[in-house]
Amino acid sequence: MKRTLTLLLALLMLLLPVMAEQDGDAGLGEDLAIVTSEGRELKYGDKGEDVKQLQTRLKDLRYYNGPVSGNYMEVTRKAVRAVQEAYGLEVTGIADLDVQEIIFGDAHRPLKKGDSGKDVSRLQTRLSELGYYWGQISGNYLDGTTAAMGNFQKDNGLEKTGRADVASLIKLYSDDIVMPTQDPNATPRPLPSPPADAAYTGVISYGSKNKNVSLIQERLTVLGFFDRKVTGGYYEHTFNAVKKFQQHNGLTADGVVGEQTWNALFALDVVRSGEAPKPSPTPAPIPYFVEVDVNNQLVKIYARDEQGTYTILDRIFHTSTGTKNYPSKPGTYTLNGRKARWAEFPNWGNVKARWWLRIDKYIAFHSVIYNSYDVKSVSTGSVRKLGSRASRGCIRLTVADAKWMYDNIGEGTQVYIHEDAPLDPELKAAHKPGSYNSKTYLHNVTPAPSPTPHFDSAKMPEINRNLKTGSEGSDVFWLQSKLKELGYYQGTVTGTFLDGTKNAVRAFQKDMNLSQSGSADRKTLDTLAQLAAQSAAPTPLPTDPPDQAAGTQQGFTVDENQP
């Protein structure tokens, strides 16, 4: 039986919290992204599942009030026109890919007095966080919301209308905002001393319920950030009040009371809500740089060194990039931070993926493919193809690696995609993920690498076997290291003999007039051992201490008075 997309999405919203709790990611990012890249332009008269999805999204945004029929008729065209008008686009009623990017992205609908709904509640919550709105989060756009929006517009260089047009909403939800204007005629109120038992005992966050939560609520009330009953329960109103306090006191506004926030709450120089706010904290540096090596089908994560340069290779993931027909377009991208726990690809058979992290409007990082919103519905074909080109341009990863990207790679991170790296089969093999477990529907954890063997350039270790494709061990490590030192091996020294090592051995054998088998046989190893011994530095002979004349000639003087 066919179900409408509305029902599907409703069921998804019920399932996602359960899945999120299993993965420990509740509350992170958006729930779902509908990915329209490589899709089709939608216009009057069109029919299909993609039209249903467009209607569903427009209905969620309150632009559309018709049936989700899959038929692009006049009501749908009118809704698309309303979006185009709100965003200052040419009003055609045609949902091209740029318009769909807005609709399926972080779209807003204009709000005004008399409107109601979840988007009004979100607006009131945001105005409350910034210190403009002190009423109930009711979802009803009335006089208090109108006044708060007008004051926000005035402080942020926008026309003061009290109506939340799209430009005002984009500004409101950005980080580039001005805090409320202080009343210059306000008389400072004396601040009561903190209670004697206000001692920090650990992090307090959403869901906490204890005596220290009551202390926080009481202190926030005195400081003018909290206007509710002191309950001892850390929930929405306390969370928002803490964020307002943090923003006003130059702290990172995460709504969590760590030691820094606790100390600021009870500090003598704390800034109250009616006083001039402290400067915002200096943004933390971007921790990672991401390289997508298409030739080797690897994602390389670089961390910052002491000089702030991304030189520390932190981790490497196997991937599936785009095929030759649908390539992952080379270039350098800066992430905007948009992500979702699930993504759906309506233009590619409605397949799904987890831990979606946008690169641009066409490509993203995400997990292997799923056939439905069930964590057991993994496409084993996408699992088998990891390590080879297989996607429609996106960067596929194991579920665990995609989750790591989702959790750790944020807005401002640069991603460099390129196709010109030399092939390095040894590196690729060294970072192959663990085997896929059909019971957990995940890859097994990759075993920890063994310690790096010692390499003595001047002395070959005892090797009692021919080294060839598939050989592993410290003897292969020495062979690779020596060939790399001599300029024959260009890959990564891993201790595993694969094609990169074979090609290097063959090139060495050719120069030494040996049989070019590509395997390190006895003659090849003996030749390398002789070269290693010849490269050993001779032991220096003992020398007499320099005399005075010699010392003077070398640029330093000898003090005759020293013993």
φ, ψ at 47 (rounded to 5°): -135, 155
Rg for the chain (alpha carbons), in Å?
32
Residue whose C-alpha is closest to residue 71's, from 55, 49, 47: 47
Pairing of strands 436-437, 288-293: unpaired
Q: Let me know: does 128 contact 134? Beta carbons within 8 Å.
A: yes
Measured between its terminal Cα atoms, the distance across the chain in Å is 102
Q: What is the dihedral of CA 398, 402, 404, 409, to 10 degrees?
A: 150
**377 vs 370: CA distance, rounded Å:** 5
From the candidates 108, 394, 431, 443, give the one annotated as an active-site residue.
394
Structure-token pair, residue 562: 């020293």
**267 vs 198: CA distance, rounded Å:** 11
From the candidates 108, 366, 431, 443, give the one annotated as an active-site residue.
366
Q: Let me know: does 433 contact 386? Beta carbons within 8 Å.
A: yes
Give the containing element (helix H, strand E) for 527: helix 522-535
Q: Is 318 a catalytic residue?
A: no
Q: Is 431 a catalytic residue?
A: no
Give the containing element (helix H, strand E) for 200: none
Structure-token pair, residue 546: 């320099």
Q: Residue type for 244, please?
A: K
Residue 353's DSSP bridge partners are: 343, 369
Supply the angle between the helices 211-223 and 236-248 in degrees, to the nearest 10.
Answer: 50
Q: Let me know: does 238 contact 218? Beta carbons within 8 Å.
A: no
Pairing of strands 288-293, 414-418: parallel
Residue positions annotated with a catalytic role: 366, 394
